[in-house]
Amino acid sequence: MLVAVAITALGFLLVGLTTQLFGYRLGGTIAIPVLAVYTLKNVFMLPIFVLSTVLAYLGLRVVKQRTLLYGRDELLVAMGLGSAIPLLLLAVLGSVVPESLRSVVFIGSILPGLAAFNYHQLKPQYRLKDALAATLLYGALVGLGWLLITPALAARLGTITPPALYTATSDVAVAKSAVVPTELEPTILARPVAVGLFLLGLLCSERVRGRYGLRIGLIALPLLAIYALASKWLLVLYVLLLALSFAFLQAVHVTTLLYGRVLISLTTAFALLAAVPTVIWFPITRGLSAYFVAILAGIGAYNWHTAPRPKRKLFVPLQVGVFAAMLLLARATGRVLPRGVPQSFGLPQVAVGVVVVLGCLAVVEYYTVYQPAHDDVFAASILSGGDEP
């Protein structure tokens, strides 16, 4: 995990610096650094990413030419199109695809749509330079990872934290004979069920955003629910890193006035670095899961920060409520590991989950102030002409 964190944190910082100096998007804040780690994990991730990104880019262009979709809807369309090839690959070839590739492709399927959306937001004259900068960054990060994964470093660094890139499922570790013996991570949810849970989580996220104006993460809470079934300590890690990242973000913003992509880059890099001593302290054995939990916490802290001040108090109950619903669904359709929660699952656990969901919803509704409809405001205005014909 140390190598994955080092590569990704450095990548995030370089993305933020490049954005600040040149205004490049580099396919999104997380795309290139995470892709570099996933490529080291499995080399097939690169061609899958490139092909999926091209498909999503061309598809989004057609959609924009033939519809009036814009803004957030463009992102959702791009992510749907970009996920088509990876998910189709898993559906058709799932039985013959190695488990290491299935896990990487499944979680990494969000990256192509994200990259395609960001390139659509650039002016045409800047796209080539942006793509070249992204390619250089990707090459540098992969090269750094190749240098850091060696038999000598495996003996020193491979067991300090869970060995995400030093396992037998890591292509670069196998190629360089730098494998640290570990147990394979069992599958928690069947892939079709996980896809359905992600889609439901996405719909919940968009519903929350439309009704309350808050972003809680497109796939963060379904993924966190799956991680909770694997280990309760991953859930504790998320809560701790979310609080620390939010405090760090607030301090940086007040001190420097940085915002947008630069701020999210710094915050997510901080979350990754903060995860290392925490993972050493907690009994966490799933390195790649802890790595992704840290990224989710950094992004979550940024979403919390961007909420309007009167609505920030709604962020936590919304996350708790949606997470509780996702956890109930995940537990009902999947397996729980020895350190996961909830170990028991029956009517009492379902009742507690429903109470948590309804309680959070009640709190949010109580503190939400809805604006009157535009037609109602106009009808009550002197400009409407009142009751005159």
Task: Identify whether the C-beta of residue 82 lies closer than 8 Å to the C-beta of residue 52.
Answer: yes
Domain shared by 210 and 228, yes or no: yes
How many residues can be counted in the chain? Answer: 389
Range of the domain at 363: 185-389
Three-state DSSP at 110 gives: helix
pLDDT per residue, tens digit, the chain (389 aa), is: 899 999 999 999 999 999 999 989 998 889 999 999 999 998 888 988 898 899 899 999 999 999 888 888 898 889 888 888 777 777 676 666 666 556 666 666 788 989 999 999 898 899 999 999 999 999 999 999 999 999 988 888 778 888 888 988 889 999 999 998 877 777 788 777 888 898 898 899 999 998 998 999 888 999 999 999 999 999 999 999 999 999 999 999 999 988 889 999 999 999 999 999 999 999 988 888 999 999 999 999 999 999 998 899 999 999 999 999 999 999 998 889 999 999 999 999 999 999 999 999 999 999 988 777 667 777 776 666 555 44
Cα-based distances in Å from 60 to 63, 77, 107, 208? 5, 7, 21, 24
pLDDT in the model for residue 133: 95
Structure tokens at 245: 């990242």
Number of domains present in the structure of the chain? 2
Domain shared by 96 and 230, yes or no: no
Q: Which of 157, 184, 211 is the last residue of a domain?
A: 184
Phi first, then psi: what are they for 339, rounded to 5°?
Answer: -95, 5
Q: Which of 184, 212, 228 is the last residue of a domain?
A: 184
Domain shared by 16 and 72, yes or no: yes
Domain shared by 304 and 239, yes or no: yes
Domain shared by 43 and 142, yes or no: yes
Cα separation, 28 vs 130, in Å, equals 11
Phi first, then psi: what are they for 172, rounded to 5°?
Answer: -70, -35
Q: Which of 168, 184, 200 is the last residue of a domain?
A: 184
pLDDT in the model for residue 389: 47
Query: Residue type for 252, please?
Result: V
Domain shared by 150 and 190, yes or no: no
Structure tokens at 103: 């896990």
Domain shared by 151 and 163, yes or no: yes
Domain shared by 148 and 230, yes or no: no
Cα separation, 289 vs 58, in Å, equals 32
Cα separation, 34 vs 382, in Å, equals 56
Domain shared by 173 and 50, yes or no: yes
Name the DSSP letter for residue 42: -
Burial class (CB in 10 A: 0-12, 13-18, 19+), 97: middle
Domain shared by 264 and 304, yes or no: yes
Domain shared by 71 and 176, yes or no: yes
Domain shared by 153 and 207, yes or no: no
Burial class (CB in 10 A: 0-12, 13-18, 19+), 13: middle
Cα separation, 169 vs 42, in Å, equals 8
Burial class (CB in 10 A: 0-12, 13-18, 19+), 309: exposed
